[in-house]
Amino acid sequence: MRWLILAVLLLVSWGCREAQEPKPEPILEVSPKPPPQPAPEPETRPPRYRAKVSPLPAEVVKKMQGISWREGCPVPMEDLVFIKLRHWGYEDQLMDGELVVHKDVAKDIVEIFEELFKERFPVEKIWLVDEYNGDDLESMRDNNTSAFNCRWKVPKPGVFSQHAFGTAIDINPLVNPYHSPKLILPKNGEKYTDRSLKAKGMIFKGDVVYQAFTRRGWTWGGDWRRKKDYQHFEKKRDRAGRLIQPRGKK
């Protein structure tokens, strides 16, 4: 009997020891993390030209009244349109410019500046002349490209310039000055009457700017005989009031 009791006590003691000893936790196999993948390179697209033609916005009409347009101008405001377009600047940067032109030449201007954009021809700035209080000389001194401005023809006060009709534009006027035997405009562009300088933004016969305009029936002031106006392109009308088109184009 005594041996039986001892055997029972030994079994109970062994069971308690097993209950007190912690069981080892199972080992979990962790899969290694995949190596980091490089971020996909952003899709690179060539810069796109854009241009929008619209009737004169109310804020532009307000800005122009009494400045670049006034009562007695040869065209009503209803015949003018506002163009916002993209162009390349002097630092090879994309810029947005603003022009007011006659509605009849808007298509030409949009197409011409698209050609200049594709060739990355630099235009330093394109602001409305109203930003200079309508002062064409200030605009030229700042090398600003502009179109419509109800002003007199140089140097003929009392005779409207083609700009007053919205059918002329001056491009990079500082480096493409007007000059005659007695007058240079702007004055700070005098050194650029030397056309051998080949400065940025200059226009030459046969270049992309010249070709883009003349193919569409515009004339260049650099082709004039008695005076030169390298900045200036204009599209004239015939006696019936129709814009003169290049040969073979109707």
Distances (CA, A) of 118 to 3, 85, 92, 209, 239: 109, 13, 13, 12, 36
Lowest mean pLDDT among 18-32, 62-76, 166-180, 214-228: 18-32
**pLDDT the model gives residue 199:** 96
- Domains of the chain, by residue range, sit at 51-234
pTM metric for this prediction = 0.80
**pLDDT the model gives residue 45:** 81
Q: What are the structure tokens assigned to 159, written together?
A: 């005779």
Per-residue model confidence as pLDDT tens digits over 15-49:
545 545 455 555 445 455 555 555 455 557 889 99
103 vs 1: CA distance, rounded Å: 125
**pLDDT the model gives residue 157:** 86
Query: Residue 67 above 60 pLDDT?
Result: yes
**pLDDT the model gives residue 236:** 84
Query: Strand 51-55 relative to strand 152-153: parallel, antiparallel, unpaired?
Result: unpaired
Query: Residue 132 above 70 pLDDT?
Result: yes
**pLDDT the model gives residue 14:** 47
Per-residue model confidence as pLDDT tens digits over 80-118:
999 999 999 999 999 999 999 999 999 999 999 999 999
